Amino acid sequence: MSKVNIYNFEGKVVGTEDLNAKVFEVAMKPELIHFVANGLMANKRQVSAHTKTRGEISGGGKKPWKQKGTGRARQGSIRSPLWRGGGIVFGPRSNRNFKIKINRKTKQTALNMVLSDKVRENALVILENFDLPEGKTKSFVKMVKMLPMIGKKVLLVFPDKKDNLRRASQNLTFVKQENLEEVNLLDVLNSDTVLTTMEAVKFWQKNR
């Protein structure tokens, strides 16, 4: 069974906690991680590109010229795709659907895999609480320097609303703030260190 250290704001170990092997000792399956990551990115995708067909463009109700006798090719509407300013054939449409269905259990299993990987790399850092005395950026940076952080990107997971810590870290480019219920696979994958409290660990173990 894996164990995790619990730190205070001075970077000192104030305790240890056993971790549930069903959540924090899950073997990696790259194909599952890839599927869930692709699905989450696809589900976040917003379709904005949209072209109009000839039936959606205004004007063009009158025939440009008569059918015969002009020596020119016959034309029925200036909104034909053959004309500049006319409709677009096979262009991108805003009703395209890129959604991918991801089962809740599959999503949770993938999250457990990447959390297990963070534990193996000692990149899951647990604080005894988030009650930072001062809500200043300087105080937060000082605290981070005392903790065993891995890499530069920090995912700060809030079990509940803590104004001081949020305010102290919100202006730092290397920190991403996320509420516990909203943390997903991409958040953990894109971070070097996950910084949270035992409340988050208990939540993940309860919702395995």
pLDDT in the model for residue 162: 66
Q: What are phi and psi of 176, to 5 degrees?
A: -115, 125
Structure tokens at 198: 């035992």
Please state the domain count of the chain. Answer: 2
Same domain, 78 and 181: no
Asked if 172 and 76 sit in the same domain, the reply is no
Are 12 and 26 part of one and the same domain? yes
Tens digit of pLDDT for each residue in 94-151? 988 999 999 999 999 999 999 999 999 999 999 988 888 778 899 889 988 989 888 8
Tell me if 195 sits within 8 A of 154, measured CB to CB: yes
Of 63, 80, 97, the residue at which a domain comes to its end is 97
The model carries a pTM of: 0.81
Q: Are residues 39 and 61 in the same domain?
A: no
Same domain, 33 and 125: yes
Distances in Å between the Cα of 166 and the Cα atoms of 31, 169, 200 are: 35, 5, 16
Do both 20 and 121 map to the same domain? yes
Tokens (6 digits) for 128 = 């005894």
Asked if 77 and 161 sit in the same domain, the reply is no
Q: How confident is the model at residue 163 (pLDDT cuts 50, 70, 90)?
A: low
Domain span holding position 127 = 3-45+98-206
| Cα(134)–Cα(173) distance, integer angstroms | 20
CA distance 170 to 165: 8
Q: What is the pLDDT of residue 59?
A: 86
Written as six digits, the tokens of 202 are: 């208990």
Residues 126 and 175 in one domain: yes
